[in-house]
Amino acid sequence: MKKQEDREALLLEFQEKIGYFYNNKKLLEEALTHSSYANESGLLFYNERLEFLGDSVLELIASEMLYKEFQDLDEGKLTRLRSQLVCQNSLKNWAEEVGLNKLIKLGKSLIKDGPSQSVEADTAEAILGSVFLDGGYASASRIIIDFLKKQKNNASIYAIDPKTTLQQATQSKNGSVPYYKTVERKGPDHSLKFRVQVTLNEKILAEAWGNTIKEAEFKAAEEALKNI
């Protein structure tokens, strides 16, 4: 009984963290059930079908968000950006952040080591699929957009070209473009370092040091992307 009560408390905490409370609790349990647990327990349901659905919903909503936010990026850059936003590591991190990793039902052979990164990521997609079925597109979209915005804090996402990405983001939001200014140089001639500020409408977004002006500009753009 105590174990069941603990799980119920964790399930409630999980729903509070994602900001969504299920109408059909069976969908939630299905999303949390790994095939290894289903096989050992004789269950007819497990989360792979929901994972399939969630993967498609996640890709659609991520595509819609990027299409609207980066209106001048071509198809190739949008695809690469989407891939980095919804990669396995991002999903795994989200699963752990919301406590999903503590709720996955695993078979005995997997319990000792706990869920792998891929299992956590797959379960995250199953959760998104289950929310889509339980609450519709709007509910799934709200959770996914919140997840995607958090991934934008990872500067490596913008490795394709942080300056271009920053410009597209600022133009999309307010029609303005960022301005880069070298504000300091230091060190001997053979080993100069440069400090660059990036501003938008005369407001400093970020600054960074680099071994070249270009490197400093890229680093400043990466920092600025975390703050917009």
pLDDT along the chain (228 residues), means of 10: 77 95 96 92 91 97 90 76 84 93 89 84 97 98 92 58 81 84 91 94 94 91 83
Catalytic residue among 30, 51, 55, 217: 55
CB-neighbour burial class of residue 80 (10 A; exposed 0-12, middle 13-18, buried 19+)? middle
Q: What is the pLDDT of residue 150?
A: 82
Residues 129-170: tens digit of each pLDDT: 999 999 999 999 999 999 998 876 654 555 567 888 888 778
Phi, psi of 74 (to 5 degrees): -80, 175
pLDDT in tens, 103-114: 999 998 787 777
C-beta separation of 70 from 78 below 8 A: yes
Interatomic CA distance for residues 169 and 72, integer angstroms: 10
Which among 34, 179, 154 is positioned nearest to 94, based on CA atoms?
Answer: 154
How far apart are alpha carbons 102 and 190 in whole angstroms?
54
**Choosing from 30, 51, 120, 125, which is the catalytic residue?**
125
Model pTM? 0.68
The pLDDT score that the predictor gives to residue 157 is: 54
Q: Is 98 exposed, middle or buried (0-12, 13-18, 19+ CB in 10 A)?
A: buried
CA-CA distances (angstroms) from residue 81 to 78, 142, 195, 228? 5, 20, 28, 17
pLDDT in the model for residue 153: 62
**Rounded distance between C-alpha atoms, residue 203 and residue 25, angstroms:** 48
pLDDT of 154: 58
Cβ atoms 205, 227 nearer than 8 A = yes
Report d(CA 97, CA 104) in Å as an integer.
14
Q: What is the pLDDT of residue 117?
A: 87
Is residue 150 within 8 A of residue 168, CB to CB? The reply is no
Task: Give residue 47's pLDDT.
Answer: 94
Give residue 40's Cα distance to chain centre: 33
H/E stretch holding 195 reads: strand 193-200
Establish whether 125 is a catalytic residue: yes
Residues 83 and 56: beta-carbon distance below 8 Å: no
**Known catalytic residue: 13?**
no
